[in-house]
Amino acid sequence: MKDLLPVYVVSVKKFTDRHLMIRRQATQFGLSIEFIWDFDVETMTPDDRARCDQNVLPLKSMSCVLKHIEAQKRLLATEHDICLVLEDDAILGAEFDRKLQNTLALAGKLEGPWLIFLGGMDNALDARFFANQGPSLIESPLTTAEAYLINREGCFERLAWLSDNLISKPADHFLAYLDTMLSIPHYRVSLPFVTQGSITGLFPTSLDSSRSNKPAWYLALRYGWNRLRKQKLPIWFSRIRAQFVRILNK
């Protein structure tokens, strides 16, 4: 199923260093990727900009969110039911191919429209994530948009809404906001396996002003610390606690 999965990469033509990395990862994990070059800031038309609330969104944010919407249009132009959307700074974790296959198997049990977020390796998670020993899907909204799966039903509903409404939020916030309005559930994998190079310090960010003035070494240290305290340590403590409970119940 992975070999047939459309994979759309949201990118900008001039980000050649990101292109090299994502292509290298695609080769490593056997993905066939399709870059979305449409809606670069330099080539956006007045009609493109008119799809967004120009009083709220800066041009770079307009460009990014329109590329994410384009990925949904491209899925509907195929015969596939599911696609993977990646941003060009996505860092695919160890055994990404196996974990993606597991996630697709879980997705096959879902009904109706949905979105499955694969990223957020430095996000704070709740106790539901730490209690799982194996891969599972947990209903929870996406926080960033570096890697997610979507299905045809959800794309139909989003594009229908967009035919009469303007986009007023950046891509990640927009997807969370719109899907809440449309009652499209979001799921996250119990163990996230994708992160962002712009968060780890690998690439300079082009959208987040809170990171743009920070040196790469600082971003790398902050990412490692956040990953440790928000996910690795809580998972470790949860498993130790579960072992003690099992011992006490014997």
Q: What is the mean pLDDT of residues 93-118?
A: 96
Cα(93)–Cα(91) distance, integer angstroms? 6
| Closest among 179, 3, 208, 169 to 89, alpha carbons compared | 208
Residue 23 pLDDT more than 90? yes
Most confident region among 31-35, 230-234, 241-245 by mean pLDDT: 31-35
> Residue 134 CB: number of other CB atoms within 10 A?
7
Instruction: Tell me the whole-structure pTM to 2 decimals.
Output: 0.89
Q: In 151-232, which residue ranges form alpha helices assigned H by DSSP?
A: 152-162, 171-181, 197-200, 209-212, 216-227
What is the rounded average pLDDT of the residues 186-197? 93
Return d(Cα 9, Cα 86) in angstroms, integer. 5
196's enclosing H/E stretch is strand 194-196
pLDDT digits (tens, 9 = 90+) for 194-239: 998 887 777 766 655 565 567 877 878 887 888 788 878 877 777 7
Alpha-carbon gap, residue 140 to 175, rounded angstroms: 13
The tens digit of pLDDT for each residue in 61-101 reads: 999 999 999 999 999 999 999 999 999 999 999 999 999 99
Domain-wise residue ranges, the chain: 2-249
Assigned CATH for 2-249:
3.90.550
